[in-house]
Structure 1
Amino acid sequence: MLTARGSTRSHCSASAAPKVAERLLAAASELFYRQGFRAVGVEQIVREARTTKPTLYRYFASKDELSAACLRKQAASEWAILAQVAIGLADDPLAHLRSIIMSVARRISHPDYPGWPMTHAAIEFPQQGHPARQVLDGFKAQMRVMLTDLAEKAALSDPGSLADGLLLLIEGAAVSLHSFGSDGPSNALSEAADALIEAYKARR
């Protein structure tokens, strides 16, 4: 997941490299998540990680590349959560689909939840060619494919359209959280998603 530069370093340096890179990644991820990618500078990251700017640039070519690495880490965490959700539901795609929405709704409803990082970052990185944006686009595309696949396996009408509707609800809930908090419109995610799924069931 991480790509540390300078592969000709000694064995001792190479063994220490992952620890330094992971420390930088952990510090940057926390700062980006809480304060935003644009608001956090390199100086703040290296101070939090207890290292130096030259060390950061030894492992990450730029702040943009570090941002992309943080989002790859976040994407891996999101997929791990979704994998846990899927346990025991391989033969019930409809229940699997609903469990994904419930999982998102539970996270959003927590009072301390600061929002979905993948939505935050998409707003901060509008440029299509940006390394971080490429990670985001890939993640969202995979999510769309997964929801479509589950809707198709559940024999629901127009799986692609349903998947897009569910993804819109997830994204909308994540965004509205910032304006209204966890007791606002985002609190209706599960109910709205259930109604949408039922509507597509009725079309079969």
Structure 2
Amino acid sequence: MSTPGPRERLLEAARELTYSQGMGVGVDALLKSASVARRSLYEHFGGKDGLLTEVLRRTTAEDEESYHRTMAAAGDDPRARLLAIFDQLTDVVAGPDFRGCRYLAADLALADPDHPAHAITRQYRTDIHDLLEAELVRLGHPTPAQAADQLHLLIEGTLATATTRPTTNPAQAAKSLAEHIINTP
């Protein structure tokens, strides 16, 4: 098995360090963790901003796939598929390495509104909203777009609350609220 090249090592280091230490992690720490020269960062990503953007692009794709897997494992019933998300969140926030929502943290840490990472996080939120809305349409919900907004708020609230109040069980509280939203006639 071959050793990952500098590009992959940088991506993995940035993925880990930006989640554990935040988007403000220094370039030197990233380079040291990846065991690469500064030149590799600029050759592959044009700088730290490009690296951060690519990390977010990759993690959003992985997280979207996780939503799809979770929902598929719950079967064909849209109600069960939507509620399965909150069961999965229970496991996610209970994990020993849970540090909150990577995308909220990125949006808060990257002050420049034109930073390319913001386009990635916005698209991710749109994609999750669309996924939720599609299930609500399948369910025959009377206001699927509004209900998707509400469910998305519960998901993001769960991730934020689990970060700031780790001894609570926000995913199960959110699931209870989600049931009300989903069951609205």
Fold match (TM-score > 0.5):
yes
Is contact 1:151–1:162 with CA below 8 Å preserved after alignment?
yes
Structure 2 residue identity aligned to 1:75: T
**Match in the other structure for 1:189:** 174
Q: Which of these residues, 119, 142, 149, is aligned with residue 104 of structure 2?
A: 119
Structure 1 residue identity aligned to 2:19: Y
Structure 2 residue identity aligned to 1:27: A
Structure 1 residue identity aligned to 2:129: R
Is contact 1:109–1:187 with CA below 8 Å preserved after alignment?
no
TM-align CA RMSD: 2.2
Q: Which of these residues, 32, 53, 62, is aligned with residue 18 of structure 2?
A: 32
| Cα distance change on mapping 1:193 and 1:127 into 2, 3 Å | farther
Once structures 1 and 2 are overlaid, which stretch shifts more, 55-64 or 124-133? 124-133
Show CA shifts across 1:18-55 (max 9, x none): 721001100111000000002x1111111111111111
Q: Which of these residues, 28, 31, 54, is aligned with residue 69 of structure 1?
A: 54
Is contact 2:87–2:171 with CA below 8 Å preserved after alignment?
no
TM-score (norm 1): 0.81
Is contact 1:105–1:190 with CA below 8 Å preserved after alignment?
no
Segments of 5+ residues of structure 2 without an aligned counterpart are none
Larger radius of gyration: 1
| Cα distance change on mapping 1:73 and 1:153 into 2, 3 Å | same
Query: For 1:114, what is the secondary structure of its paired residue?
Result: coil
Once structures 1 and 2 are overlaid, which stretch shifts more, 43-52 or 168-177? 168-177
| Cα distance change on mapping 1:191 and 1:132 into 2, 3 Å | same
Mapped to 2, the partners of 1:157 and 1:175 lie a distance apart of 29
Mapped to 2, the partners of 1:102 and 1:54 lie a distance apart of 44
Aligned positions, number: 184
| Equivalent runs, 1:36-75 vs 2, <5 Å | 36-38=22-24, 40-75=25-60
Instruction: Give the % identical residues.
Output: 28
TM-score (norm 2): 0.89
Q: Which of these residues, 80, 83, 86, is aligned with residue 65 of structure 2?
A: 80
Q: Which of these residues, 141, 149, 160, is aligned with residue 145 of structure 2?
A: 160
